[in-house]
């Protein structure tokens, strides 16, 4: 039988086990897992660090610490990830929201509040590949005049996104639709009516997936990562199929991989869509925006029908 541990001892023990792995923050993760098992907040672990932990909780904690050490994402253990200041529930089968994606969301919020859209009473947005709902729901939360059409091909993702919408009180602001890229919108009569199409599509080239961090490659859904042979499959489809939905001046905004800025920009310049006005619909004002690490992270352009 395990010895008796105090909260403080157990957190230390967790740190020792995790330190043998390659994780960024063993102390924080050990604290978070203890809070999870014990159902307490972090402050409690400081104010009650000499309290003994019952043996069942000790067993449970050590099991989770070892699971984490084996490379299982902590967010799937805790069942949540913070994004744009909001708590998103996540579970296996759904991509974990990344801080990098906040750059895309912040940029769109600034656009809507700024010169492009500030006089519009309502804004219509399409989010392709919603996953847990991170982009969709943070836009709906911060932009009170927005309605989001939120599409995903994965029923698991949509289930999680719907739960998150409900918890965040945003259900009435989002229309969730199951399907492949823009195809489920055919027939809904949304042509020339959408202000912004946003997407963080799968963009990892198929052959590179195995080279991602182990916790990503082994545990997160391939479907949310695999962008085809050169990683650009979804950008091609969205550029081609998306133009006809956008208003004149409408915005297309993508998250991209660190080395895809130029390629996606060129796609947007070259590929003018297949809508009825296809040959008059080039994107203009195309910008590549960098993340805090200095890598290309977002590509954004507007439809100029002129
Ligand atoms: N940013 C993710 C990663 O590098 C990839 C997400 C995506 O393909 N959209 O793990």
Residue ID of nearest Cα to ligand 1 atom 7: 202
Which residues sit with their C-beta closer than 6 Å to ligand 1?
A: 98, 200-204, 212, 216, 225
Is the predicted pLDDT of residue 116 greater than 90, yes or no? no
**Residue 271, pLDDT above cutoff 70:** no
Look at residue 271 and give its three-state secondary structure. coil
Those residues whose C-beta lies under 8 Å from the C-beta of residue 96, and which sit 6 or more positions away, are 73, 75, 76, 81, 90, 132, 220
For residue 274, is pLDDT > 70?
no
- Distance (angstroms) between ligand 1 centre and the Cα of 212 equals 9
Residue 173 has pLDDT above 80, yes or no: yes
Q: Which of 12-26, 36-50, 249-263 has the lowest mean pLDDT?
A: 12-26
Which ligand 1 atom is at minimum distance from the Cα of 226?
A: 8
For 81-97, write each residue's pLDDT tens digit.
999 999 999 999 999 99
**Interval between CA 249 and ligand 1 midpoint (Å):** 28
* 209 CA distance to ligand 1 middle (Å): 10
What does the DSSP 8-state code read for residue 150?
A: E
CA distances, 171 to each of 94, 143, 147, 194 (Å): 19, 14, 10, 19
Closest by alpha carbon to 94, among 231, 214, 224, 256?
224
How far apart are the CA of 210 and the centre of ligand 1, in A?
13
Tell me, in angstroms, the distance from the centre of ligand 1 to residue 103's CA: 14
Does 72 carry a binding-site annotation? no
Q: Check pLDDT > 80 for residue 59.
A: yes
List of domains in the chain: 5-70 (1.10.8.10), 80-303 (3.40.50.150)
Structure tokens at 18: 């995790």
Q: Report whether 275 belongs to an annotated binding site.
A: no
Given a cut of 70, whether residue 1 has pLDDT beyond it is: no
Residue pLDDT, tens place only, 132-172: 999 999 999 999 999 999 999 999 999 999 999 999 999 99
Q: What is the pLDDT of residue 115?
A: 78
For all residues of the chain together, what is the average pLDDT? 93
**What spacing in Å lies between the alpha carbon of 91 and ligand 1's midpoint?**
16
CA of 225, closest atom in ligand 1: 8
Q: What is the pLDDT of residue 3?
A: 67
pLDDT score recorded for residue 2: 54
Under the banding of pLDDT at 50, 70 and 90, the label for residue 281 is: very low
Higher local confidence (pLDDT), 188 or 176: 176
Q: Which residue among 83, 95, 104, 152 has the greatest number of ligand 1 atoms within 8 angstroms of its CB, and so is best to mutate?
A: 95
Q: Kindly give the number of the ligand 1 atom that is closest to the alpha carbon of 201.
A: 9
Tell whether the model's pLDDT for residue 272 goes beyond 60: no
Mean pLDDT of 62-82: 96
Q: Is 200 annotated as a binding residue?
A: yes
Q: Whose CA is nearest to atom 5 of ligand 1?
A: 225
203 is in an annotated binding site: yes
Other beta carbons less than 10 A from residue 146's beta carbon: 23
Residue 58 has pLDDT above 50, yes or no: yes
Phi, psi dihedral angles at 107 (to 5 degrees) = -60, -45
């Amino acid at each position: 039988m395990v010895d008796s541990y105090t909260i403080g001892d157990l957190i230390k023990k967790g740190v020792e086990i995790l330190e043998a792995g390659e994780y960024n923050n063993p102390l924080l993760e050990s604290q978070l897992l203890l809070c999870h098992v014990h159902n307490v907040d972090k402050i409690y672990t400081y104010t009650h660090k000499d309290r003994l932990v019952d043996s069942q909780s000790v067993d449970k904690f050590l099991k989770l610490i070892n699971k984490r050490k084996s490379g299982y994402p902590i967010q799937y253990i805790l069942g949540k990830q913070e994004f744009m200041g909001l708590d998103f529930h996540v579970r296996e089968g759904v991509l974990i929201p990344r801080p990098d994606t906040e750059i895309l969301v912040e940029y769109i919020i600034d656009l809507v509040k700024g010169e492009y859209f500030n006089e519009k009473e309502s804004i219509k947005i399409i989010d392709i590949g919603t996953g847990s709902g991170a982009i969709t729901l943070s836009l709906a939360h911060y932009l009170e005049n927005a309605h989001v059409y939120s599409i995903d091909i994965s029923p698991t993702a949509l289930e999680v996104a719907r739960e998150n919408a409900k918890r965040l009180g945003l259900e009435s602001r989002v229309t969730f639709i199951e399907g492949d890229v823009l195809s489920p919108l055919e027939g809904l009569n949304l042509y020339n009516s959408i202000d912004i199409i946003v997407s963080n599509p799968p963009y990892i080239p198929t052959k590179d997936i195995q080279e991602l961090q182990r916790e990503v490659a082994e545990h997160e859904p391939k479907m949310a990562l695999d962008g085809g042979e050169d990683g650009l499959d979804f950008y091609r489809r969205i550029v081609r199929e998306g133009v006809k939905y956008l208003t004149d001046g409408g915005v297309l905004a993508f998250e991209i991989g660190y080395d895809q800025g130029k390629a996606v920009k060129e796609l947007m310049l070259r590929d003018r869509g297949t809508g009825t006005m296809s040959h008059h619909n080039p994107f203009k004002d195309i910008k590549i925006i960098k993340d805090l690490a200095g890598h290309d992270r977002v590509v954004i352009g507007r439809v100029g029908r002129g």
